[in-house]
A and B are shown apart, each in its own frame.
Chain A
Amino acid sequence: MRLALILPFCALPAFADVDRALDTHILPAQTELADTTQALADTAQADCTPQAVRPAFHIAYDAWISISHIQFGPLEDQALTLPMSFWPDPKDSTGKALARLTAARDPIVDDPDNFDDVSAAAQGFTALERMLYDPQPDADYACRLTQAIATGLARKSEAITHDWPAFADLMRSAGTDGNTRFQDEDEARRALYTALSTGLQFLHDQRLGRPLGTFDRPRPRRAEARRSERTLRHIQLQLAALETLATAMTDTDLTQTRTAFAEARQRAKTLDDPALQDVADPARRFKVEVLQQAVRAVQVAMINEIGTPLGISAGFNSLDGD
């Protein structure tokens, strides 16, 4: 209502297409997450050995990375962001939580209805990766813990996906009477724009920035999912997902943005370093730095071609703290 008064004085050239972002990106990607995590859980129930579970783990993790930038909505409302995937993990909360469960042979792994009470760091993809790629001296307990994590991921994904259609309706009906969550259309657009900008920030500062560290003190051990050598894959998947979101949410001219995404994609593709361990090699780390600069170029293009024409800026995000 407020904006209805203001907008006529503005010459906004374009409308963000919330419907298109929901229908071509968010809802299908959520369904993919629910389906692949269910397959992961089924696989683990049938055969919990790491060799058997790894292929389904990779497929489901791909699906998560392709939607994890949508942090508003059911994921936030159910407080499932951290239980789905706990990274960065500067205090090794994942290692500690898994060690505690294992040392106690905690029977909660046999209780799927209550497994979500355990530490968030022991519940998600980051925990499952440890189970599948680190040596597990207690094979019997490791099996049950692997199954519990896989089943929990399927349940959480189903719960999020289940709630998305109703939340999508809230976004589509922004500004109508009784919709207190999205009081005008710009609030729905801002949610999408914040997801895009936060995702790019996370890519630049965390997924690339943490392992890069500084030239004098590179931090290869801080690379995300280095055990399963998925670090670079996450960067590629997130770039693709953010490009899909960017192109879906607006009809504005995205020439600069598309070029910047293409450049970043190409830089990532030619990087022959799946776990970004070359950041410690002075002769090779520049390739990672160049990729990080390419992500920055996407951030700049996004402001120029999406934020400015739509007259919106990003809202507050979870990276605003320390």
Chain B
Amino acid sequence: MTFKFTTAVGTLLCAAAPAFADKAAVLDNYADIALAKYTDSLTTGQSLLAAVNNLTENPSAEALQAAKDAWLAARVPYQQTEVYRFGNAIVDDWEGKVNAWPLDEGLIDYVDGTYGGATDENEYAVLNVVANPSFTLSGNTIDASDITPALLEGSLHEADGVESNVATGYHAVEFLLWGQDLNGHGAGAGNRPWTDYASGDACTGGNCDRRADYLTAATALLVSDLEWMVAQWQDDGDARTQLSADENAGISAILTGMGSLSYGETAGERMRLGVMLNDPEEEHSCFADNTYNDHFYNAVGIRNVYLGSYTRVDGSIVSGESLASLVAAADAGVDAEMRAKLDATILKMLDMKIAAEAGFAYDSMLERGNAAGEALIMGGVDALIDQTRSIERAVVALGGNAIEIEGSDSLDDPEAVFQ
């Protein structure tokens, strides 16, 4: 039950500014960039799968590190796709399988004693599928003797209707590669030994074969999910078809994606919440300590969608008619303000990224009383909130013109927007 009407960005129905830019061309380019981003996510995901296969077949410290490196690389294009989520239902409905967080990792594998047990919210917080070939879930006996993609997505993901039972996607794979980060607010990520994938007596953590099966199944599932999303953005794909079915609704989808990712998701759920709770587990990538990159590439993705130009992982550029040109045609002042705000956000995010890469762990930034860390993160939060106001102004600038259909859907038939 996603309830969309607050983000359905309709506005002044009666405004009648003439269109100068070609909306169809803007939407084509937006879809082309989506295709390029998801294709880059797929190819880097395939590299991750190859590295995972090598790790499980020839376990070693080097093989584990190579898999971690492949995971980090795969996140770069994927985080830039998130700006497509909130405006495109087909992406939002699918996203939970691929990038859900935070997770109660005890569902998947062994955890430290300080993790705790089942909670009010989640009876299965310490189910430990790796260690248990058979268990009961919501009254049903589950045969998990073979750990397969079908088991993960069919029986385990969001088990018992609890969102933190994340059994699939990037963060499940992240946990299986890094393990829990037990450093609290100190520097350092999760430190899973490579021997968690070793065979025979060298195996640590128990059930190394089942852990390897889980890691392989989760990574293979991630790749197949990305293949599916790439197909949706091909010429006859559903995502592209839905987007172009109504030009004004399509333009509205772009702005909805930018605003929702800026404000509610990245500034709110992902950044401010962690600072407010001083909780090192409130990190988007809490096992790998890659959270600053998650935020940074979200901001990059928002900006490149507005400007209509994406630099691919091989360095080639996909660009064309942009939302920026459409906004500029309606109100050059709003476009200039929007560009300045997007640039300001990137610079604030860079401050955070540079400090993190120089050794100031994101965990430490979240620590109680760490004023410098709080300032770095809140600098990004404030910039995202600020750019959201400009996105709303862009909506108004295009209002009654670019956005009127979306607006009139919700205004003429309010019941429709609750479906």
Contact surface of A with B, Cβ cutoff 8 Å: 2-3, 6, 9-12, 76, 79, 82-83, 90-93, 97, 114, 117-121, 181, 183, 186-187, 190, 194, 197-198, 201, 204-205, 209, 213-214, 217, 221-222, 296, 299-300, 303-304, 307-308, 311-322
Contacts and interface: CB of A to CB of B under 8 A. Distances in A.
Contact of B5 (A83, A118, A303): A303
Given A90-B164, A303-B410, A10 B12 contact: yes
B364 interface: no
B171 interface: no
Contacts of B270: 321
Given A205-B3, A313-B9, A318 B411 contact: no
B396 interface: yes
B342 to A, nearest CB: 15
B334 to A, nearest CB: 8
Most chain A CB within a 10 A radius of its CB, from B6, B264, B378: B6
B12 to A, nearest CB: 5
A313 B265 contact: no
Contacts of A194: 6
Interface string B137-180: 01000000000000000000000110110000000000000000
B119 interface: yes
Contacts of A2: 331, 333-334, 396-397
A11 B14 CA distance: 8
A76 B385 contact: yes
Given A97-B277, A217-B160, A303-B411, A311 B9 contact: no
Nearest to A194: B6
Taking residues whose C-beta sits less than 8 angstroms from the other chain, chain B's interface range is: 35 or more
A315 B260 CA distance: 10
Interface of B: 1, 3, 5-17, 86, 102, 119-121, 138, 160-161, 163-164, 259-260, 262-266, 268-270, 272-273, 276-279, 281, 331, 333-334, 368-369, 378, 381, 385, 388-389, 391-393, 396-397, 400, 407, 410-411, 414-415, 417-418
B277 A93 contact: yes
Most chain B CB within a 10 A radius of its CB, from A201, A213, A300, A304: A300
A316 B7 contact: yes
Contact of A313 (B1, B10, B281, B378): B10
A207 B262 CA distance: 25
A315 B391 CA distance: 9
Given A303-B5, A316-B6, A317-B264, A311 B414 contact: no
B259 A320 contact: yes
Given A10-B12, A311-B12, A317 B411 contact: no
B9 to A, nearest CB: 6
B126 to A, nearest CB: 14
Most chain B CB within a 10 A radius of its CB, from A2, A190, A197, A316: A316
B121 A90 contact: yes
B263 A213 contact: no
Contacts of A213: 161
A241 B369 CA distance: 36
Given A9-B14, A119-B279, 10 more contacts: A6-B15, A90-B121, A93-B277, A118-B278, A118-B368, A119-B276, A221-B121, A311-B11, A313-B5, A317-B263
